[in-house]
């Protein structure tokens, strides 16, 4: 006769196969331990996002849907070496300096590379314009054309 399941989630779901279990208070098999850890992680991220940015899980889901689940700046790029990390919530630091936001100045979701780059340019529109001018028409190209 086969052993009865000991995993609290397996018993609840009616899974009759025996799997090794771990845990002192609630025994769970490896599959359900991983599923619970992932759900706990997501729930904690949702709470932190709501606490820091006033962004409910539903609004965050809508934001990612609008962006196609991709970084708002680099789009299909996924960072160095093709890594796929969760996107960071970006907000306007001129409105709310620091890590917390009022919720009205959230701009979008960015990959960590784009979020760091944006932080380095200090949310300065004037700097961004100079950066674009530099990339479009660098000074040395002006020298080559005889303009300088």
**For the chain, what are the domain ranges?**
1-50, 54-148
- Classify residue 71 by its DSSP letter: B
Task: Tell me what the mean pLDDT of segment 80-97 comes to.
Answer: 76
CATH number 3.40.228.10 is the correct assignment for the domain at 54-148: no
**Alpha-carbon span 63 to 12, nearest angstrom:** 35
Q: What is the pLDDT of residues 98-122, one digit of tens each?
A: 777 887 888 899 988 888 888 888 7
Q: What is the pLDDT of residues 45-70, one digit of tens each?
A: 999 999 999 999 999 999 989 998 88
Q: Phi and psi for 123 in degrees, rounded to 5?
A: 55, 25
> DSSP letters along 79-138, please?
SGGG--PPPEEEE-TTTS-SS---SSSEEEEE-HHHHHHHHHTTT-HHHHHHHHHHHHS-
């Amino acid at each position: 006769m086969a052993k009865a399941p000991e995993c609290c989630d397996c018993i609840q779901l009616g899974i009759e196969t025996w799997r090794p279990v771990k845990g002192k208070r609630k025994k769970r098999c490896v599959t359900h331990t991983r599923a619970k850890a992932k759900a706990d992680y997501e729930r904690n991220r949702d709470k932190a996002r709501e606490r820091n940015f006033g962004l409910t899980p539903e609004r965050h889901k809508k934001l990612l849907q609008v962006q196609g689940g991709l970084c708002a700046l680099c789009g299909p790029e996924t960072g160095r070496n093709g890594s796929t990390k969760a996107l960071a919530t970006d907000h306007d630091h001129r409105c709310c300096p620091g890590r917390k936001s009022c919720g009205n100045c959230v701009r979008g979701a960015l990959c960590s590379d784009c979020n760091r780059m944006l932080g380095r340019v200090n949310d300065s529109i004037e700097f961004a314009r100079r950066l674009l001018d530099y990339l479009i028409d660098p000074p040395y190209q002006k020298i080559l054309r005889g303009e300088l």
